[in-house]
Amino acid sequence: MTRSLTGVFGGTFNPIHLGHLRAAQEVTEQLELDRVLFVPSAQPPHKDGTCGDPIAPAALRLAWVRAAAADNPHFAVDALEIERGGTSYTVETLRALTEELAPNEPVFVIGCDAFAEMGTWREPEALFALTHFAVMTRPPVADGRLRDWLPKCVSDAVEMAPDGRSGRHRETGKWLRSLEILALDVSSSGIRRRLRSGLSVRYFVPETVRDAVEKCGVYTST
Ligand code: ATP
């Protein structure tokens, strides 16, 4: 039986932007995913919202992700991290989703900037054994290969292909692949900076959420 693949796209989405949506679209097409589940985090472990760079309340970020994904039949949103509350650990999320999605298999969708940091995440060894990975190129980190971004703690567990662009977990057979996607140099932090400066974020975020993002006051209040 061929199992369908479901993308799992985790992030803070603070706020969601066109870079996220275009990336999810391209990964869907390249891997022929049945759909992509956007999974907004409750409290991301590596971002604390201090230093004048706030994180919008989870309910707001979730509402924006839902509105942004609504018109694409291949996109869906799963609020499990927000419903679970507390610090969001991807390994816990993937454990839950692996059961929930069966017999479909999850593919964790991640930008190469975040992937390169995965050695600092909770239980990276378990996470690599648990799920496939689609690692997207993202400006400015467009150079390099998957092999260069692979966390050291999993380098023995993963056998890389000679070209360094894909690999396979030696025990579980879960694969990882780097995917070239169109470079849209848009980031949530850039959007928050613009809002702090009183600038519009038109054409950076979907028009359906722009008004709410610009007027929420979260990013301009510090
Ligand atoms: P920030 O600028 O606040 O760090 P971000 O724009 O990276 O935020 P996140 O919600 O942290 O947004 O990103 C979720 C995931 O989306 C990460 O894996 C990140 O690498 C990826 N991503 C974000 N923006 C892009 C983009 N323009 N192209 C490809 N991937 C992206």
What does the alpha-carbon distance between residue 67 and residue 85 come to, in Å, rounded to a whole number? 21
Which parts of the chain have pLDDT scores under 50?
Answer: none
Q: Whose CA is nearest to atom 20 of ligand 1?
A: 111
> What percent of the chain is predicted at pLDDT more than 90?
86
- Check whether the bond before 103 is cis (ω within 30° of 0): yes
Q: What was the pLDDT predicted at 46?
A: 76
What lines the ligand 1 site, CB under 6 Å? 11-14, 19-20, 23, 110-111, 113-114, 136, 138, 184, 186-189
Report CA(111)–ligand 1 centroid distance (Å): 6
Domains identified in the chain and CATH numbers: 5-185 (3.40.50.620)
User: How far is the CA of 183 from the CAs of 87, 127, 158, in angstroms?
Assistant: 30, 27, 27
Q: What was the pLDDT predicted at 49?
A: 64
Report CA(169)–ligand 1 centroid distance (Å): 25
Q: What was the pLDDT predicted at 178?
A: 95
SS3 208: helix
What does the alpha-carbon distance between residue 173 and residue 160 come to, in Å, rounded to a whole number? 12
Q: What was the pLDDT predicted at 2?
A: 62
Q: Whose CA is nearest to atom 13 of ligand 1?
A: 11
SS3 29: helix
Q: What was the pLDDT predicted at 1?
A: 53
